[in-house]
Amino acid sequence: MSDIQAHVRGILLALGEDPDRDGLQKTPERVEKALRFLTQGYQQSAERVIGDALFEETHHNMVVVRDIEFYSQCEHHMLPFFGKAHVAYIPDGRIVGLSKMARVVDVFARRLQVQERMTDQIADALVQELNPRGVGVVLEASHFCMMMRGVEKQNSKTITSAMRGAFRDDGRTREEFLRLVHNGGR
């Protein structure tokens, strides 16, 4: 039995459960498998997931990938939070494969996290790997630590943003990005 499985068994005992009853016998193993999957971002990096998917291109206009689903776990309660990431950049001589932007989101979502840090990590990783003229990231998420316990507000959403380069320094660029994110450019 691994350390994680032994600890899960101990948690079950501390809660007053019988870890040897039929429905719980394999729970420590299942919890470990789930936790390893949900935290696989610790073994990944933006550099590795982007790999060689950078292409020389003279395109200098905004590239936006909206509605990237993500699932993470809050580091305070280890409860899920989930939502959508909206990520944009302005290339400066090279572009990245679009799916790689979603993979960068997952690198940071698949860790014990706080949404504020995750937003910054995504933006900073794209700046480092792409060296673009600017990066914008907006995350919209629902947090089970607010929905299932504590204040129990089912419909609350948390929105965070990180702006780098032209998205931070140029109000028109930032406005264009936010307009595209929030109403599809309408």
pLDDT in tens, 6-41: 999 999 999 999 999 999 999 999 999 999 999 999
Is the distance from CB of 134 to CB of 173 less than 8 angstroms?
Answer: yes
> Known catalytic residue: 145?
yes
Q: What is the pTM of this model?
A: 0.94
Active-site residue (options: 5, 113, 115, 121) = 115
SS3 166: helix
What the chain holds in terms of domains, given with CATH numbers, is 3-38 (no CATH), 51-183 (3.30.1130.10)
Mean pLDDT of the residues in the chain: 96
The reply to whether 76 belongs to the active site is yes
DSSP character at residue 41: G
The pLDDT tens digits of the residues spanning 112-143 come to 999 999 999 999 999 999 999 999 999 999 99
Tell me the pLDDT tens digit for each residue of 56-99.
999 999 999 999 999 999 999 999 999 999 999 999 999 999 99
Name the helix (H) or strand (E) containing 75. Answer: none
Catalytic status, residue 116: no
Whether 143 is a known active-site residue: answer yes
- Looking at residue 186, its pLDDT comes to 54
